[in-house]
């Protein structure tokens, strides 16, 4: 019978909360493969077993596991009887057709009731493989490793470890609200927060109908993509055009970008309170554009009470781009659109805004009315992955 054995991040999952973290991980895995023929997902003596049904496509299940945070590595495994002879002959049978230059056997015994110590099992089974196939043993740098894991009711063997994404299981760190533009940076920032176990809710500001719907479509596509890691997402599409047009008349041009950003954060914070999110996330990077000087970041950030986290703050564009490519967001992010902030932005924005001056200028704006209208008129969309049969509770 075939299974997938998942190993999780030992260190992160240690301590008093371990059963709770583990429960989240198991629950997430179950939901992530809900539409595939996976018979069972169970926690088993320090690892998790996914029992595959006859129509399950291993690679497809593997792809879901690759997007499950908290997984250190996983292996496509076969179940073997808890009996040395039977185990050895099953493995020898299975190895037919392989011809590695060197090999070794690596045994982990989670249940010590199996009477033979691990090194002895390794020698015994390794010896039999060598006798049948004539392969050379190399204990320190084997090209091919036969892994055997012995548990209470079954043993598993496999030959390869696939890398998991690391991180912490989804839903173990609480909720955050990510300001998602259509650009390259913010989806990467959201993904980094998910990796640390945060559930991310998204807010996108658009200037439709002054501009096209393109930025909203990109935001949707990005959220759809990112939902593969968290399985359920909510996207707030907030109309921002009216606010921008009014600000354009009442705020000195060079200050506009900073004022727009502060308005976005105020509205985002209101949404965060509604959704019980505990922090705001942006894709800001020091020095990347005019609104991201230290001075401007401080003036913009001063408007929020909730903490603002900027996971990409010290990264280069190339590093962020490489990460966007790994995640798969890059091709969506580079689709041309009219960002709401480029339309109404002067050519020479302030690079060193002063908080008092900005606060003084903002007195001309009906800020509370802006926030209320934005929250009232926001369109909320829900996303699920996999689309059929997802049952994860939040």
CB 37 within 8 A of CB 53: yes
* Number of shown-chain residues binding ligand ATP (CB under 6 A): 19
Q: Binder to ligand ATP among 88, 168, 180, 251 (CB under 6 A)?
A: 180
Confirm or reject binding of residue 186 to ligand ATP (CB under 6 A): yes
Chain centre distance of CA 122: 37
Q: Which does 288 bind (CB under 5 to 8 A by kind): Mg ion, ligand ATP, none?
A: ligand ATP
The dihedral sign for the CA sequence 207, 210, 214, 216: positive
Q: How far is the CB of 281 from ligand ATP (least distance, A)?
A: 7
With CB cut-offs between 5 and 8 Å by kind, which of Mg ion, ligand ATP, none does residue 283 bind? ligand ATP
Q: What is the 3-state secondary structure (H, E, C) of the chain?
A: CEEEEEEECCCCCCCCCHHHHHHHHHHHHHHHCCCCCEEEEEEECCEEEEEECCCCCHHHHHHHHHCCCCEEEEEEEEEECCCHHHHHHHHHHHCCCCCCCEEEEEEEECCCCCCCCHHHHHHHHHHHHHHHHCCEECCCCCCEEEEEEECCCCEEEECCCEEEEECCCCCCCCEEEEECCCCCHHHHHHHHHHHCCCEEEEEEEECCCCCCCHHHHHHHHHHHHHHHHHCEEEEEEEECHHHHHHHHHHCCHHHHHHHHHHHHHHHHHHHHHHHCCCCEECCCCCCCCHHHCHHHHHHHHCCCCCCEECCCCCCCHHHHHHHHHHHCCHHHHCCCCCCHHHHCCCCCCCCCCCHHHHHHHHCCCCHHHHHHHHHHHCEEEEEECCCCCCCCCC
325 binds ligand ATP (CB under 6 A): no
> Is 293 a residue that touches Mg ion (CB under 5 A)?
no
Nearer to Mg ion, 181 or 207 (CB): 181
* Residue facing ligand ATP at closest CB distance: 183
Examine residue 181 and tell whether it contacts Mg ion (CB under 5 A): yes
**Residues in contact with 121: Cβ distance below 8 Å, sequence separation at least 6, in sequence order:** 84, 105, 107, 109, 148, 150
Q: Which of 51, 82, 289, 375 binds ligand ATP (CB under 6 A)?
A: 289
To ligand ATP, the closest distance from the beta carbon of 203 in angstroms equals: 6
Please say which residue, 230 or 291, places its beta carbon nearer to Mg ion: 291
Smallest distance, Mg ion to C-beta of residue 172, A: 30
Binding to ligand ATP (CB under 6 A) within 200-229 occurs at: 204-205
Cross-sheet strand order for the sheet of 308-309:
308-309, 280-281, 175-179, 199-206, 232-239, 379-384
The binder of ligand ATP chosen from 68, 230, 291, 296 (CB under 6 A): 291
Instruction: Tell me the closest approach of the beta carbon of residue 214 to ligand ATP, in angstroms.
Output: 12
The residue within the footprint of ligand ATP, chosen from 149, 269, 284, 323 (CB under 6 A), is 284
* Residue 348 beta carbon to ligand ATP: minimum distance, rounded to whole angstroms: 16
CB of 289 to ligand ATP, least distance (A): 5
Q: Does 73 help bind ligand ATP (rule: CB under 6 A)?
A: no
Contact segment (CB under 6 A) with ligand ATP among 13-21, 140-148, 182-190, 371-379 equals: 182-190
How far does Cα 32 stand from its chain's mean position?
13
Q: How far is the CB of 310 from ligand ATP (least distance, A)?
A: 8
Q: How far is the CB of 337 from Mg ion (least distance, A)?
A: 10
Kindly tell me which residue out of 70, 164, 169, 283 binds ligand ATP, with binding defined by CB under 6 A: 283
Residue 187 as a binder of Mg ion (CB under 5 A): the answer is no
Considering beta carbons, is residue 239 or 283 the nearer one to Mg ion? Answer: 283
Pick the closer one to ligand ATP by CB: 23 or 328: 328
Q: What minimum distance in Å lies between the beta carbon of 191 and ligand ATP?
A: 12
Q: Does 337 bind ligand ATP (CB under 6 A)?
A: no
Please give the residues from 244 up to 273 whose contact with ligand ATP meets the rule CB under 6 A: 264
Q: Which residues bind Mg ion (CB under 5 A)?
A: 181, 183
Q: Which residues bind ligand ATP (CB under 6 A)?
A: 179-181, 183-186, 204-205, 264, 282-284, 288-289, 291-292, 340-341
């Amino acid at each position: 019978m075939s299974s997938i054995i998942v190993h999780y991040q030992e260190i992160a999952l240690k301590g008093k909360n371990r059963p709770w973290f583990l429960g989240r991980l198991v629950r997430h895995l179950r939901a992530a493969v809900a539409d595939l023929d996976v018979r069972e997902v169970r926690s088993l003596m320090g690892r998790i077993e996914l029992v595959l049904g006859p129509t399950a496509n291993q690679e497809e299940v593997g792809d879901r596991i690759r997007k499950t945070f908290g997984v250190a590595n996983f292996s496509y495994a076969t179940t073997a009887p808890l009996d040395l002879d039977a185990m050895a002959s099953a493995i020898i049978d299975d190895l037919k057709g392989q011809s590695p230059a060197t090999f070794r056997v690596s045994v982990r015994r989670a249940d010590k009731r199996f009477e033979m110590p691990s090194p002895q099992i390794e020698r015994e089974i390794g010896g039999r493989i060598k006798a049948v196939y004539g392969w050379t043993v190399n204990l320190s740098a084997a090209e091919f490793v036969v892994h055997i894991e012995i548990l209470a009711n079954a043993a598993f063997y496999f030959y390869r470890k696939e890398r998991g994404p690391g991180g912490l299981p989804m839903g173990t760190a609480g909720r955050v609200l990510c300001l998602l533009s259509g650009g390259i940076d913010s989806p990467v920032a959201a993904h980094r927060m998910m990796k640390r176990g945060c559930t991310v809710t998204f807010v996108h500001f658009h200037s439709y109908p002054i501009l096209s719907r393109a930025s909203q479509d990109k935001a949707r596509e990005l959220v759809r993509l990112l939902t593969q890691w968290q399985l359920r997402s909510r996207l707030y599409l907030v109309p921002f055009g009216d606010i921008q047009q009014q600000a354009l008349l009442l705020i000195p041009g060079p200050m506009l970008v900073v004022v727009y950003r502060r308005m976005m954060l105020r509205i985002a914070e209101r949404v965060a309170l509604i959704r019980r999110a505990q922090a705001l996330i942006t894709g800001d990077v020091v020095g990347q554009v005019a609104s991201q000087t230290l001075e401007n970041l401080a003036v913009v950030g001063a408007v929020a009470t909730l903490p603002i986290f900027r996971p990409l703050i010290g990264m280069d564009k190339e590093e962020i781009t490489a990460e966007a490519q790994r995640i798969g967001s890059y091709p969506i992010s580079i689709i041309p659109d009219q960002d709401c902030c480029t339309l109404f932005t002067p050519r020479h924005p302030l690079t060193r805004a002063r908080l008092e001056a900005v606060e003084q200028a903002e007195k001309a704006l009906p800020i509370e009315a802006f926030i209320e209208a934005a929250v009232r008129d926001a369109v909320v969309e829900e996303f699920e992955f996999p689309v059929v049969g997802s049952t994860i509770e939040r």
